[in-house]
Structure formats: structure tokens, C-alpha cells
Amino acid sequence: MKICVLGAGAWGTALAIHLGKLHPTKLWARNSGHVSGMNKAQSNPLYLGDFKFPPLLEVSNDFSAALSDIDLIVCAVPTSGFRQILKSINEINQSALVIWANKGLEQGSAKLPHEIAFEELGDSKRTNRHWGVITGPSFAAELVRSLPTALTLASTSKKTTMLAANIFHHDNLRVYTSHDVVGASVGGALKNVIAIASGISDGMGFGNNARAALITRGLAEISRFGSYLGANQDTFSGLAGSGDLVLTCTGEYSRNREVGLQLAKGQPLKTILKNLGHVAEGVFTATEVIRRIDNTEIEMPITSEVNNVIQFGKSPKDAVLDLLDRSIKPEI
């Protein structure tokens, strides 16, 4: 099985290192200087420190060469570049299974990765070109340190789900299978928004009670949005839902939580994102979710307040206090 991982950020590199332990794997990055540095160091010091590449892992900035004679393509580019990557894949390799690892909504269209894949790769029921997502509670630095990790892999067919799952499932990584591509995409995207809210709360010193409430009510919002799109509600009680949400809202490596922490300190968003050095998908996702639920009856108050802070400069403290001041409602 020959694999290509597109995107040499922290998570793409971690997946490439993991896959390259057993399979011939190519890691593609757009920037030639970045690739040159990785080839020289045999690691990715820019995004993942000095974790060494396995012998079966090659690094390239030649997109066509990276995709030639490949059986599995793993997309780990930011969601903002996902559509163009799929278009480029179609020009070179129209047969390989595509699994993505990015989490978010596309800016402007408010579409989730599975909707973009449907538009660019086609309806798998008609084309027999299958695609899916790998998601769940995971930090790159822990995967490459061989710490126990469990993820969910969902795709458009049972056969390809098992095929891809078996490729990822080894060493410290356990893979669970699912056929709910919609739910897996929703859980992975929206948890980043709730993580920003959690970071704001922690940064304001509001304590453990507030964080637990935000996580719990945040999961309710994710489930509500997922139900609207036809997701299986059971997905949100698993790794792709509550598992990923809890980790992102509490973990020290969480980029989106860090955005919230810095917002609570009064830092401007542009400064935060510049200093972060990585993509924080929740910043753009919040705005797109609000766009998506406009003119519907879906209530997402936490997401709405995060968007108010990010998009309209609302005070983080006022956002939290306004959430507390909402009228009494049934919990379910």
C-alpha cells in the first residue's frame, strides 16, 4: 500500500511518520524551503520538533510526483485549501481513496469537508470513487511520542472504511470505524468553536464549573447542528464528538483553546493568530456556522457569542455573562 500525505503541518507530519513506519509514504509540502529543511533534518523542526522520519517516509514539494502510483491519499491541509487540493488531485490521480484529517467549515460557503468532497470528487454511489475522514481526540506531539491514541475513521463504503482503518491501525494508534461521515465532519469542526469559548472562560478565571458547563452545552449545540445535517446522534457520544471536544477544550496543546485564553487577556485576534504559528480552524468556523444556521430555528448561543467576540469585538467577559443571563430553558 503506497500512501501520500498532503500537508506538512504538525498533524500531517505526525500522520506521515505513523504511516511511514509500515508503508511507503510520501509527505508533500508546498514550500520548497520547508521541504529542503525537512530532508536535511529528517524531521519537521518548523512544526513538530526533532521527531525523526522513518526510512519509508519521503518528503517532496512535487505535487504530481507525490501523487503518482499512490493507493491512499491523506489530506491534512487547512480547510481553506481543501477544495483546491481536491481539484488538483482529480487532475492527477482519479482512483486513489481520499481520507482527510482537516476540521472546519469552508470560508464563504459554510460547507463542511464532506460536502466539498461530494462536490469535487463526486457522489461515491455513482462514481465508485470513495472518500472519508479520520478524526477524534488527537494531538500530533502525543501521536509521534507513541502515546496511546484512539481515532474514528468514517468513509463512504464499508469496504474502504476497513481498508483505510487497517492502514492506520497499528502501534499506539487504535482506530474505530464508522459510516457517519457527516457526524464525524460536524464533530471535528464545531468542537474548535467550543474550545475557544472554553479558553475564554479559563482565561477569565471562571473555574472548572464554567468549563464543564460550556463543554456539556457545547456538545448539545454540536448535536443540534449535526441533526440538522442528518448526522447519526450516536456519533457525538463517541471519539469524533465528545472525545474530541473534551480534549480540545482542556488540552495544553489546543490551538483553539489558546486563542480563547489570549482573547481573555485582551490580545487582538490578529496578534494571536500571528503568534500562534498554526491554523486555528475555530476562528473561521464560528462565523461560517452562524452563516449556515441563519434563517433556521437552530439555537447555538455559545457559538454565537464566540462569533460576537471574534467578528464584532465583543468583550469576552460580556459574552460569558450574557450566556449566564439567558432565560431558563429545558436542558434537553
Average pLDDT, the chain: 96
Q: Verify that 221 and 121 share a domain, yes or no.
A: no
Domain's final residue, options 141, 162, 182: 182
Q: What is the pLDDT of residue 83?
A: 98
pLDDT at residue number 41: 98
Residues 153 and 25 in one domain: yes
- Are both 224 and 292 inside the same structural domain? yes
Residue 108 lies in a domain: yes
Residues 129 and 244 in one domain: no
Cα dihedral 126, 127, 128, 134 in deg (nearest 10): -100
Q: Is residue 300 part of a domain?
A: yes
What local confidence, expressed as pLDDT, does residue 71 receive?
Answer: 95
Cα distances (Å, whole numbers) of residue 86 to 212, 268, 293: 38, 33, 26
Among 141, 157, 182, the domain-final residue is: 182
Check the CA dihedral 202-207-211-213 and report its sign: negative
Tell me whether residue 207 is in a domain: yes
- 150 and 219 in a single domain? The answer is no
Give the side-chain half-sphere CA count within 13 A for 108. 5
50 and 111: one domain?
yes
3-class DSSP assignment, residue 277 = coil
Domain CATH number, residue 279: 1.10.1040.10
| The residue to which cell 482512483 is assigned | 95
Which pLDDT score, from 0 to 100, does residue 25 have?
Answer: 98
In a domain, 114, yes or no: yes
Q: What is the pTM of this model?
A: 0.95
Tell me: do 245 and 262 sit in the same domain: yes
Give the range of the structural domain holding residue 89, as residue numbers without chain letter.
Answer: 3-182
Which residue from 11, 84, 74 is spatially nearest to 48, judged by alpha carbons? 11
The confidence score (pLDDT) of residue 297 equals: 93
List, in sequence order, every residue forming a beta bridge with 59; answer none if it has no partner.
27
Whichever domain contains 63, its CATH number is: 3.40.50.720
**50 touches 28 (CB < 8 A):** no
The answer to whether residue 115 is domain-embedded is yes
Residues 157 and 212 in one domain: no
Asked whether residue 173 falls in the same domain as residue 206, the answer is no
Domain membership flag for residue 330: no
What pLDDT score does 277 carry? 81
Instruction: Please indicate, yes or no, if residue 329 is contained in any of the structural domains.
Output: no
Residue 94 has a pLDDT of 84
Helices (H), the chain: 10-19, 32-41, 63-67, 82-92, 113-121, 124-127, 140-144, 158-168, 181-203, 207-229, 244-250, 255-264, 269-276, 281-293, 301-312, 316-324
List per-residue pLDDT tens for the chain, 332 residues long: 999 999 999 999 999 999 999 999 999 999 999 999 999 999 999 999 999 999 999 999 999 999 999 999 999 999 999 999 999 999 998 889 999 999 999 999 999 999 999 999 999 989 989 999 999 999 999 999 999 999 999 999 999 999 999 999 999 999 999 999 999 999 999 999 999 999 999 999 999 999 999 999 999 999 999 999 999 999 999 999 999 999 999 999 999 999 999 999 999 999 999 999 888 899 999 999 999 999 999 999 999 999 999 999 999 999 988 998 999 989 87
Q: Give yes or no: residues 31 and 173 share one domain.
A: yes
Same domain, 307 and 196: yes
Kindly state whether residue 296 falls inside one of the protein's structural domains. yes
Domain termination residue (choose one: 128, 158, 182): 182
- Look at residue 159 in the predicted model and tell me its pLDDT: 95
Q: 100: part of which helix (H) or strand (E)? A: strand 97-100
Could you give the CA distance from residue 116 to residue 108 in angstroms, rounded to a whole number? 12
What integer pLDDT is reported at residue 289 of this predicted model?
97
* Residue pointed to by grid coordinates 508533500: 28
The pLDDT score that the predictor gives to residue 279 is: 81
Annotated catalytic sites, by residue?
Answer: 191
Q: How many residues does the chain have?
A: 332
| Domain count of the fold of the chain | 2
Q: Which residues contact 329 (CB under 8 A, 6 or more apart)?
A: none
Residues 210 and 144 in one domain: no
Predicted local distance difference test score (pLDDT) of residue 89:
96
